[in-house]
Amino acid sequence: MSTTSKTDEYQVQLEIFEGPMDLLLHLIRKNKVDIYDIPIALIMDQYLAYLDMMRSFNIDVAGEFLETAATLAYIKSRLLVPRIGADEDEQEEDPRMELVRPLLEYAKIREAAQTLADSLQLGRDVHVRNIPSEELWDLESGEEIAEVGLFELVSALHEVLKKAEPDELMQMSADTMRLKDRINQLMEILAGVSSVTFHELFAEQARKADIVLTFLAILELVRLQMIRAFQHQPSRIIRLYLAVEDGIAPGATE
C-alpha cells in the first residue's frame, strides 16, 4: 500500500462488483492499460484498496475476492523473482497469462451477455398473443381439470402401491435402473405423446422399487418444471404433460 493518504481519493459512491473478474476488468479499463501487459503492482494496489473499502463499509468480502488477491500477489512475486535454474533457452511463459486468459474469456462472456440483453426480448420488446392454455380444459367434455400438487400425487402413489406385488422375500439384486435413466425414459415417453396418465406409467411395473423410482422421477420432473400434472376432477385421473413443447435443448440434439 502506498503511504500517501488514500482516504482523499476514495469516492463516496461504491460500485458493487459481481466478483473478482468483474472488478479486475473494471480496473484494467479504468487505468487504460493493455490487458496483455497488465501492470500487476498497480492493479493489485487498487484491487486491495477496493477490498479495504468494502470492509470499511462493513460489506463481507467474499472468498473469491481473496483468492484472486492471492493470485495477484503470487504473480507479482513471480515477476520480481525470476525462477532459479530456469533454462535460458526455454522462454518462460509470462506469469501474468494465468490472469489474462480467464480475464479475456470473461470479457467475451460479458459481451455475449450484452448481446443477449440487447436482443428483442419477449415480454419486454416484443409480445405474443396470450392464449389460455388448452391443456387446462378437456375440450371434448368441457370438464374442469386442475393442476395437482404433491398431496394428490402421493395419494395416487398409494393406490398404485396397493396394487403392487407383496414384498418379495429379501430379493437381492443390483439396481437395474437409476433415477436418471427413469427420468430420461419418462421424458422420451412424453416426447412421443402429448400426455400420459399417471397410472399408465406404472402399468407394467410390479416391483415396489420400480414404482418408487418412477414416482421419484415424476416428482423430480415436476420440481424442475419439465412436466406438469393435471387432475380431471370427476374421475380423479391424473395426467402428465410436457411443460415445454419440444423440450429438448437445441445444443443437446445437434
Choose the stretch contacting another protein; rule: CB under 8 A; options: 2-10, 118-126, 165-173, 208-216: 118-126
Choose the stretch contacting another protein; rule: CB under 8 A; options: 43-51, 88-96, 102-110, 232-240: 102-110
Contact (Cβ atoms closer than 8 angstroms) between residue 40 and residue 76: yes
Q: State which of positions 191-250 bind another protein (CB under 8 A).
A: 224-226, 243-250
Choose the stretch contacting another protein; rule: CB under 8 A; options: 19-27, 144-152, 162-170, 206-214: 19-27
**Residue among 150 and 224 whose Cβ is closer to another protein:** 224
Distance (Å, whole) CA 220 – CA 42: 50
Choose the stretch contacting another protein; rule: CB under 8 A; options: 90-98, 124-132, 139-147, 189-197: 124-132
How many C-beta atoms lie closer than 10 Å to residue 40's C-beta? Answer: 20
Distance (Å, whole) CA 246 – CA 191: 7
- Minimum distance from CB of 129 to another protein (Å)? 7
Cell (9 digits) for 54: 468494502
How many C-beta atoms lie closer than 10 Å to residue 208's C-beta? Answer: 15
Distance (Å, whole) CA 27 – CA 46: 8
Non-local CB neighbours of 210 within 8 Å, separated by 6+ positions: 177
Q: State which of positions 40-59 bind another protein (CB under 8 A).
A: none
- Minimum distance from CB of 230 to another protein (Å)? 16
Contact call for residue 9 and another protein (CB under 8 A): no
**Residue among 103 and 156 whose Cβ is closer to another protein:** 103
Q: Which of 49, 73, 104, 219 binds another protein (CB under 8 A)?
A: 104
Q: Which of 14, 42, 97, 133 binds another protein (CB under 8 A)?
A: 133
Quote the distance between the C-alpha of residue 230 and its chain's center.
27
> Which residue stretches of the chain are H helix?
20-30, 40-56, 63-80, 97-118, 150-163, 179-192, 198-202, 208-223, 250-253
DSSP assigned state of 60: P
Contact call for residue 18 and another protein (CB under 8 A): yes
Cell (9 digits) for 231: 387432475
**Residue among 149 and 206 whose Cβ is closer to another protein:** 149
Q: How many residues bind another protein (CB under 8 A)?
A: 61
Contact (Cβ atoms closer than 8 angstroms) between residue 86 and residue 92: yes
Distance (Å, whole) CA 57 – CA 206: 62
**Residue among 79 and 112 whose Cβ is closer to another protein:** 112
Contact call for residue 39 and another protein (CB under 8 A): no
Q: Which residues bind to another protein, rule: CB under 8 A? A: 18-22, 25-26, 28-30, 32, 34-35, 62, 64, 68, 102, 104-117, 119-129, 131, 133-134, 180, 184, 224-226, 243-252, 254
